[in-house]
Amino acid sequence: MADGKFATSITCMDGRIQVPIIEWIKQNYDVNFVDTITEPGVDKKILEDSVFESIKTKTEISINAHKSSIIFVSGHYDCAGNPVSSDEHKSHIRKGVEMIKEWNSEIPVVGLWVNDSWTVETI
């Protein structure tokens, strides 16, 4: 196991949001590293059984190997993989958070939104 505390970020593959999310998580939570699981439009895709199972498997690796202590599910403005309104994104994120909580209720799960200023917000 690597030294340090870990979080798990389930996020869109869009490179514009990687740094803001990782920096925000490290500034607001007591973690040194952020394992990142990506999928285009992940906030919508996580609601699909086959994608959820893949994300679940990867998240379990983060939890078991790195002892990740918190999970984040995010979406963002101007997403090519899920081109819907901000409200729809946030609804998808909330549903994804609930799905993960149902599967693993022992670890906190937080929804994040990256807005049109590329600022991270909790939802």
Q: What is the pLDDT of residues 26-69, one digit of tens each?
A: 999 999 999 999 999 999 999 998 999 999 999 999 999 999 99
Q: What is the pLDDT of residues 85-121, one digit of tens each?
A: 999 999 999 999 999 999 988 999 999 999 999 999 9
Residue ranges covered by each domain of the chain: 6-122
Using alpha carbons only, what angle is made at residue 84 by residues 76 and 86, rounded to the nearest 5 degrees?
Answer: 50
| CATH number listed for the domain at residues 6-122 | 3.40.1050.10
C-alpha dihedral over 81, 19, 87, 83, to 10 degrees?
A: -20
